[in-house]
Amino acid sequence: MNLATDRISNQNKSPQPVLETYSILLAEDDRHMADLLAANLRRLGHRVVGMGRNGREAVELASKTNPDVVILDIEMPILTGLQAAREILASRPVPIVMSTGVSDIRSLQNAADLKLVSYLVKPYSPAQLKVSIHLAVAQYRAFVQVESPAAT
């Protein structure tokens, strides 16, 4: 293919939509995993506003940083990710992504009971992370819209 043909074929391609980027709080007790996750989030264009090592730190950081999205490991000390999610959601609605090595039915049901729609089982790829974050935000927005319909 020559340069002129390349230009024509590129003109016929529809532009790719630009995905939003978010301020993200993450809580992960495994420091190596937390650093890897933070690096992947930054590569995806997001801003990491806090990194907690346990569920209690996640709750405290959520109130201080007001993130757009929270990513929580399920199995953490002091408070589990699900306990932290419950406390965070009680003070302020926010999209939450659960990140875990656990994929048992009870954990999935507990996440569903909290209306958490994004659940990542480790190890996961940056592409899966990206999809999970955007799915959580889209579901959150749809939920908020249903809960508080616009006045007519």
Angle subtended at Cα 61 by Cα 38 and Cα 80, rounded to the nearest 5 degrees: 80
Summarised one tens digit per residue, pLDDT across range 68-116 is: 999 999 999 999 999 999 999 999 889 999 988 866 667 667 666 766 6
* CATH code of the domain occupying 21-147: 3.40.50.2300
Q: Mean pLDDT, to the nearest integer, of 33-41? A: 95
Name the percent of the chain lying above pLDDT 70.
73
pLDDT at 110: 67
Per domain, the residue ranges of the chain are 21-147
Summarised one tens digit per residue, pLDDT across range 135-147 is: 999 888 887 776 6
pLDDT at 83: 93
Q: Tell me which residue of 57, 28, 56, 20 sits closest to 133, measured CA to CA.
A: 20
pLDDT at 123: 86
Q: Which pTM value belongs to this model?
A: 0.81
- Cis peptide leading into residue 123 (ω within 30°): yes
